[in-house]
Amino acid sequence: MLSSSKSDIDRYLKKADITKIFFKDLNGRTKSLSVNPSDMDKILENGVGIDGSSIAGIATVDNSDRILKPVAESFKIVPFTDKKVAFFTGKLFDQDGSRSSVDPRAVLEKMIETAAKNYGMKFTFGPEHEFFLLKRDEFSNDIHTDKLDYFGSGPSDSGEIVRHEIVNVLEKCGIKFEKTHHEVTSSQHEINLEPGEPLSIADRTVLFEYVTKEIAAECGMYATFMSKPFTGFNRNAFHIHASFSDTENNNLCYDADDEYGLSDKMKNFIGGIIKYARESSIIFASTLNSYKAYVMNREAPIVRGWGLRNRSSMVRIPYTAEPAATRFELRCADATGNVYLKFATLIAMGLRGIDERLDPGKPDMGNTYKKNYTPKVLDRRFLPRDFYEALMESEKSKFLKEVLGEDLFNNYIILKLADWEDHRTTITNIEHKKYLSI
């Protein structure tokens, strides 16, 4: 692992061809700025000016100047085939030098600090990274790179070399992987990395997505983290495995005397996730396309609930042989949207559950897809069924406004309303097929 001291950064920068600072806009799109490495001492201290009005959700044109500062602790040298990239994630600051109120990374930093200071808790997160490797980024009948299924292997697994090259590059950055395999759907892949504390894992997710797209391009493919590119197939999920411990690293999720092996704090935490799932859905599933994935029998949850080893549940308690490894898995998230906001909101939901001593209820028994629910137009037992329903829930949420802060919350809602209006007023091919003959 590279040192984050200025002297070591200066030394390693000489080995890089390009020096870049990465960050996420409010929509979760990755942004980057290339800087002169000879100026890095000054940039680490003072940052570099950017136009915030050209970045989704950050600033308006009449008050647009913002400062981007690299995070020294995030520094990596990324060795691609044709170049070495010096990688930093960045923090956003206002003109007066204060931290920007609409910096998603700041929201996560604050939530981690609150958990440690007020609850004596720290977290370990480990997301699953799912993505498609396609022939190109425009749809056609011949876009898939394979027709394999779960754990498919052999010469027809054309993405295997891409997966292995991704983990090779990441390991050279000091990042360990746990497993890599072909997923359920044609051209779909998964890579799981070693878990860690949420802020570094969020920074690492930015790096992972960048490396994945670069390696795929080197291999003549196109990588996408879009939630559901194909009708009738599984989505790209972003399952978040999470546990929490005290300041001495004792797992706080397990209780040997509980019938489910879970502590009261863990059950309250899950209760908070379930209670606030609908109004927070716009964070975990942040695009119109995200809600196309909430369908039966496609491994995406549709009901607000929790279960033991149950992959149809929104919150799953995975099997573990070691009590110290007791954790939960949030299964409703996808890779669209902003990873810092996802992690911050997840922690906040759980902490609110602890504050309110929320009972999560009985665990889901059996396949939740097969339960005989009488359909309703608006059914709060379910996660939101579409983007507009999620938007309505979030707009009136006092909880979400408190978590994100008023400025970021308002900017976020404005962005999502614009997405909805664009969708609402656009005529689609489906409408032509259904109604043009009238």
pLDDT at residue 4 in the model:
67
Residues 96 and 142 reside in one and the same domain: no
Same domain flag for 60 and 114: no
**pLDDT value, residue 311:** 85
Look at residues 100, 128, 163 and tell me which one is the last residue of a structural domain. 100
211 and 320 share one domain: yes
Residues 92 and 127 in one domain: no
Residue 271 and residue 172 share a domain? yes
Whether residues 181 and 87 share a domain: the answer is no
pLDDT means over runs of 10, the chain (438 residues):
72 93 97 95 94 90 92 96 96 95 98 98 98 84 84 79 96 96 92 98 98 96 95 93 96 95 98 98 97 82 91 92 93 96 99 98 80 72 94 97 98 97 95 96
Same domain, 69 and 172: no
Task: Flag whether 1 is in a domain.
Answer: no
Same domain for 233 and 340, yes or no, is yes
Identify whether the C-beta of residue 241 lies closer than 8 Å to the C-beta of residue 337: no
Total number of domains constituting the chain: 2
Q: Does a structural domain hold residue 224?
A: yes
Q: Classify residue 126: in a domain, yes or no.
A: yes
In order of 46, 77, 91, 214, 387, the CA distances from 36 in angstroms are 14, 15, 18, 21, 41
**Amino acid 290: pLDDT:** 96
In a domain, 48, yes or no: yes
Whether 336 and 263 map to the same domain: the answer is: yes
- Residue 93 structural domain: 6-100
CATH number for the domain including 93?
Answer: 3.10.20.70
Q: Among 38, 72, 100, where does a domain finish?
A: 100
Q: What was the pLDDT predicted at 292?
A: 93
Q: Are residues 231 and 121 in the same domain?
A: yes
Note the pLDDT of residue 132: 95
Predicted pLDDT of residue 384? 95
Q: Is residue 137 part of a domain?
A: yes
Say how far apart CA 372 and CA 357 lie, in whole Å: 30
Q: What share of the chain is helix, strand, coil (3-state, %, to 5)?
A: 35, 20, 40
Residue reference for tokens 């690293």: 249
Residue 118 domain-assigned (yes or no): yes
Out of 74, 100, 126, pick the residue that ends a domain: 100
Task: Please report, for the domain that includes residue 364, its CATH number.
Answer: 3.30.590.10
Q: Which residues pair with 51 in a beta bridge?
A: 65
Phi and psi torsions of 170, nearest 5°: -65, -40
Residue 84: the pLDDT is 96
Do 32 and 154 sit in the same domain of this protein?
no
pLDDT of residue 109: 98
Residues 247 and 344 in one domain: yes
- Assess if residue 362 is contained within a domain: yes
